[in-house]
A and B are shown apart, each in its own frame.
Chain A
Amino acid sequence: MVELKEPLVVSVSPHIRSADSIQRVMLDVVIALVPPAVAGIYFFGGRVLWILLISVAAAVGTEALLQKLMKRPITVGDCSAIITGILLALNLPPAVPYWLPVVGAVVAIAIAKMVFGGLGRNIFNPALVGRAVLLAAYPVAMTKGWLQPLWWRTEGFFTSTVADAQGAAFDAISSATPLVKEATPDPFTIGDLILGKVGGCIGETSAICILVGGIYLLARKRIFWQMPVAYIGSFALLMALFGGTRHLTILEEICAGGLMLGAWFMATDMVTSPLTGRGQFIGGLLCGFLTFVIRLKGGYPEGVSYSILIMNMATPLIDKYTEPRRFGVRPGAKRR
């Protein structure tokens, strides 16, 4: 007779699983972030590489330290803090001092993520909270730290300290984002905007690189198409209808500033955005509307970060009203 040498595992079905994992999800996002990060390093020089590394190290380190202090399992292996670190860095101007991403990452992880209970439980996108706090606390560094694309060709790729960059040559290499009308940046073409040869935050310059990453995420089914399409579409439509007097064309408006990065990488964050395609579409419309209002009427030239943070707040409500229709109950149909 057949016999058992060891007791059998008894557990509830199902007894098979797909190969998917949280690490794989996060790794896909990291892979998708490579093109915009590389574009940032290329256009703004070696110091961007250091900013990225510092930001990631600070995010991962903060999470590990807090988990150790709270005597909880250390779960930085899930790679989610790496994404927060990269996204925060991509949302900073390239000339910020090196300690700035550390402050941002600590705020992002400690306050926006761990206080709420860690992975999956945060209400707001941690990287955007980090950025919002930096913007309020260090407005000069956050709004004046722009660099001319490819400035390093004259100054040297690894001219990396702020002092170096801000020395005698700073005026020559400083720039502004195309969104600021008053401080006219250096002349740019739509081609420059698409490729990324304009001033701006590290990760938001190159529309094409962001699109490559975004399409990778779509292909891997890590994001819903509804979010970027509704976000960018509604924003473009509103600008076309009511934006009349702006100094930029619609396409320039889309490619300039943080809209592309926000629509593809920040608003689509799984934890803080709606659960269904329909919900994502509504969230995208909300983001598009808010970005339009802030850019057109607000005193602040950007608007993407705050739009997404406000959408994050609306997520539970959107989820509540976009729950899938119950199987077996048709709206309006009489129950048999």
Chain B
Amino acid sequence: MKLKSFRGGIHPPEFKQATENKPIERCPLPDKVVIPLHQHTGSPSEPLVTVGDTVHTGKKIGELTGFISATQHASLSGEVTRIACAPHPLARMMLAVEVTSDGNDEWVPLHAASRETVASFTPAEIRERIAQAGVVGLGGAAFPTQVKVSPPEGKRLDLYIANGAECEPYLTCDDRLMREKPRDVVSGLKLIMKAAGVAQGVIAVEANKPEAIAALNTEVVKEPGIALQVMNVKYPQGAEKQLINALTRREVPPGGLPMDVRAAVSNVGTAVAVADAVIRGKPLVERAITVTGSAIAEPKNLLVRIGTPFAHVIEACGGFKEPPAKIIMGGPMMGFAQYSLEAPVIKGTSGILALTKEDVVDDSYWPCIRCGQCVAVCPMKLMPNKLGILVENGRFAEAGDTRLMDCMECGSCVYVCPANRPMVHWIKFAKSELKKAAAKEKAKQK
């Protein structure tokens, strides 16, 4: 099979050996969970419970507040003890529901559907079950899945991609899911395809996961509409636009969505969550994550309840073997550095990475020597060095004119830069400055 890929990109060391052969284990239940009401793209959920309420695991505690929104569910049984702002892994503080465990983990009754019922579900019924189960994209951006599988009037999709690239170094939870639950990946993708009205599905996996490829292959051969595609090992192979480009040569236009080129992408973990939601009636109250890094005593792949504090998850991995200097939610290329171990695992958490002092990169940087490496690796075909210099000099508007908004912040440019220049930092800063300027402009016009 010919390996598919996109132009540009980098080959960082994989660091996956610590966890790739460790089966997903259940993380012991914490004493309490903190479930943020905003852990997805779109509008935050509205709390359905008040302090003092008793909840069972799987009970809906947050309701949709718009078209692009998601429901939330209690991930433990017990008592709602607090509804207040709490540390959030992506923002400093966010409104969250705290549930203190009664230790029983008593579930609400789940309405599993028989094989025949599942086969008879209409696209609308599938979307409703997905929405009611609170499924969002598990790759990181946490886009509500029921929205993704509802292409608007006039838009037609012809390809749905299950993203098993897992191109971020260190992370192995998708690899493990594909090895351990290939059946769910495939049936989840089938349901997604039906909901979105797509006849053709592809599961894309990077070539460095031979076991996952073999496991999926045995399932895929039974499904005429679904193909397995092995991808070249390259970062960011799993980025939505790059993955679509690698598979179809189509390019999502600037500022556009995959549906503009008749394609859609969901993570393989999302497919499993959809299978759970639609077939087993089980809401998204837990997810697989990879806990690894040089500071972790026993790196593991864990099935963790949403809302479990990072401290508890790390404890389940034997704690720290060395003092951590940096803790990252997600992978090392695009993950978010944390300030507190109180932050909870959310639906978009793919991993927790704890690095010792030796592994924390020096952030001092030098002038650009125009080596051109960032231009060569940029998967969005930008000139990151130029953007960096413009932002460094406060010339945000000019940077905006030079496609700054196309940047997806994959970090390839910073990774290769011999001068260690923090282009992603500057670009993020410029984006927020441009947003502020645009808001000001709007206010002026009113």
- Check if B369 sits within 8 Å of A22, measured CB to CB: yes
Interface residues of B in 377-416 (CB under 8 A from A): 378-383, 385, 403, 406, 409, 411, 414-416
Kindly state the interface size class of chain A when it binds its partner: 35 or more
- Asked whether B334 is an interface residue with its Cβ less than 8 Å from the other chain, the reply is yes
Roughly how many angstroms separate A80 CA and B332 CA in the complex, as a whole number?
31
Write out the residue numbers on chain B whose beta carbons fall within 8 Å of the beta carbon of A18: 10, 12, 415-416
Roughly how many angstroms separate A10 CA and B340 CA in the complex, as a whole number?
10
Interface residues of A in 1-58 (CB under 8 A from B): 1-18, 20-22, 24-25
- Check if A16 sits within 8 Å of B12, measured CB to CB: yes
For the complex formed, measure the closest distance between the CB of A64 and the CB atoms of chain B, giving whole angstroms: 16
- Asked whether B210 is an interface residue with its Cβ less than 8 Å from the other chain, the reply is no
Write out the residue numbers on chain B whose beta carbons fall within 8 Å of the beta carbon of A224: 372
Write out the residue numbers on chain A whose beta carbons fall within 8 Å of the beta carbon of B368: 120
Write out the residue numbers on chain B whose beta carbons fall within 8 Å of the beta carbon of A328: 241, 251-254, 256, 406
- Check if A327 sits within 8 Å of B333, measured CB to CB: no
For the complex formed, measure the closest distance between the CB of B78 and the CB atoms of chain A, giving whole angstroms: 19
- Asked whether A121 is an interface residue with its Cβ less than 8 Å from the other chain, the reply is yes
- Asked whether A118 is an interface residue with its Cβ less than 8 Å from the other chain, the reply is yes
With A9-B360, A271-B369, A330-B251 as given contacts, are A16 and B241 in contact (CB-CB < 8 Å)?
no
Roughly how many angstroms separate A103 CA and B438 CA in the complex, as a whole number?
53
- Asked whether A336 is an interface residue with its Cβ less than 8 Å from the other chain, the reply is yes
Roughly how many angstroms separate A319 CA and B385 CA in the complex, as a whole number?
12
Write out the residue numbers on chain A whose beta carbons fall within 8 Å of the beta carbon of B339: 7-8, 10
- Check if B369 sits within 8 Å of A119, measured CB to CB: yes
Write out the residue numbers on chain B whose beta carbons fall within 8 Å of the beta carbon of A22: 366, 369, 418-419
- Check if A336 sits within 8 Å of B325, measured CB to CB: no
- Asked whether B118 is an interface residue with its Cβ less than 8 Å from the other chain, the reply is no
The residue in chain B whose Cβ has the minimal distance to the Cβ of A336 is B260
Q: Which applies to chain B's interface (DSSP): helix, strand, loop or mixed?
A: loop
- Check if B12 sits within 8 Å of A6, measured CB to CB: no
- Check if B380 sits within 8 Å of A327, measured CB to CB: yes
Write out the residue numbers on chain A whose beta carbons fall within 8 Å of the beta carbon of B260: 336
Roughly how many angstroms separate A198 CA and B363 CA in the complex, as a whole number?
50
With A14-B334, A18-B12 as given contacts, are A270 and B254 in contact (CB-CB < 8 Å)?
no
Roughly how many angstroms separate A12 CA and B311 CA in the complex, as a whole number?
22
- Check if B370 sits within 8 Å of A271, measured CB to CB: yes
- Asked whether A323 is an interface residue with its Cβ less than 8 Å from the other chain, the reply is yes
Write out the residue numbers on chain B whose beta carbons fall within 8 Å of the beta carbon of A12: 337, 422, 424-425, 428
- Asked whether B314 is an interface residue with its Cβ less than 8 Å from the other chain, the reply is yes
The residue in chain B whose Cβ has the minimal distance to the Cβ of A10 is B337
- What total of A-B pairs shows CB separation below 8 Å? 170
The residue in chain B whose Cβ has the minimal distance to the Cβ of A117 is B367
- Asked whether A241 is an interface residue with its Cβ less than 8 Å from the other chain, the reply is no
With A16-B332, A22-B419 as given contacts, are A275 and B375 in contact (CB-CB < 8 Å)?
yes
Roughly how many angstroms separate A248 CA and B333 CA in the complex, as a whole number?
56
- Asked whether B84 is an interface residue with its Cβ less than 8 Å from the other chain, the reply is no
Q: Which of B324, B333, B381 contacts A13 (CB 8 A)?
A: B333
Roughly how many angstroms separate A5 CA and B383 CA in the complex, as a whole number?
41
- Asked whether B85 is an interface residue with its Cβ less than 8 Å from the other chain, the reply is no
Roughly how many angstroms separate A334 CA and B124 CA in the complex, as a whole number?
33
Write out the residue numbers on chain B whose beta carbons fall within 8 Å of the beta carbon of A327: 241, 245, 251-252, 254, 379-381, 406
From B32-40, B226-234, B315-323, the one touching the partner chain is: B315-323
Q: Which of B261, B320, B333, B378 contacts A16 (CB 8 A)?
A: B333
Q: What 0/1 readout, one digit per residue, does chain A (252-277) give for beta carbons within 8 Å of chain B?
A: 00000000000000000011010111
- Asked whether A297 is an interface residue with its Cβ less than 8 Å from the other chain, the reply is no
For the complex formed, measure the closest distance between the CB of A112 and the CB atoms of chain B, giving whole angstroms: 15
The residue in chain B whose Cβ has the minimal distance to the Cβ of A6 is B323
Roughly how many angstroms separate A17 CA and B340 CA in the complex, as a whole number?
24
Q: Which of B325, B341, B415, B416 contacts A9 (CB 8 A)?
A: B325
- Asked whether A324 is an interface residue with its Cβ less than 8 Å from the other chain, the reply is yes
Write out the residue numbers on chain A whose beta carbons fall within 8 Å of the beta carbon of B373: 20
- Asked whether A71 is an interface residue with its Cβ less than 8 Å from the other chain, the reply is no
Roughly how many angstroms separate A270 CA and B368 CA in the complex, as a whole number?
10
Roughly how many angstroms separate A72 CA and B365 CA in the complex, as a whole number?
15
Roughly how many angstroms separate A53 CA and B334 CA in the complex, as a whole number?
46
Listed from nearest, the 4 A-B pairs whose CB atoms lie closest are A14-B411, A120-B367, A324-B381, A12-B425
Can you report 14 residue pairs joining A to B where beta carbons are below 8 Å apart? A1-B311, A2-B320, A4-B324, A6-B325, A8-B325, A8-B338, A13-B424, A14-B333, A16-B12, A18-B416, A273-B370, A326-B381, A328-B254, A335-B253
Q: A6-B325, A75-B366, A80-B369 are in contact. List 15 more A-B contacts (CB 8 A).
A: A1-B311, A2-B314, A6-B323, A13-B332, A13-B336, A15-B337, A25-B371, A118-B367, A119-B367, A270-B369, A270-B371, A276-B376, A328-B241, A328-B253, A328-B406
Binding site for B on A (CB under 8 A): 1-18, 20-22, 24-25, 75, 78, 80, 117-121, 222, 224, 270-271, 273, 275-277, 319, 323-330, 335-336
